[in-house]
């Protein structure tokens, strides 16, 4: 229970800082890609493989969306 409260406080602190900070590097796409490749190599063709592929696709999608938003914010600041 305490971990959840601390995690929530960390999120709240994160959003109240003067400038929103992004992580420099997130290794989730790399880890998920390795898991997908390992599942394929082991002959996996079931729900686990489908779930891993969906997770990988969503992580890539949201990483690209974050990069697009950063670029949009950067260009908007220059226009002012």
Closest by Cα among 25, 28, 32, 33 to 67: 25
pLDDT at 33: 92
Per-position pLDDT tens, the chain of length 80: 445 544 444 444 444 444 445 455 568 888 999 999 999 999 988 999 999 999 999 988 888 888 888 888 888 867 55
């Amino acid at each position: 229970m305490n971990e959840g409260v601390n995690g929530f406080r960390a999120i709240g602190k994160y959003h109240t800082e003067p400038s929103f900070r992004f992580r420099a590097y997130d290794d989730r796409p790399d880890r998920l890609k390795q898991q997908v490749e390992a599942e394929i190599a082991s002959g996996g063709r079931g729900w686990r493989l489908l779930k891993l592929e969906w997770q990988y696709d969503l992580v890539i999608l949201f990483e690209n969306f974050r990069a697009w938003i950063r670029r949009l914010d950067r260009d908007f600041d220059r226009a002012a």
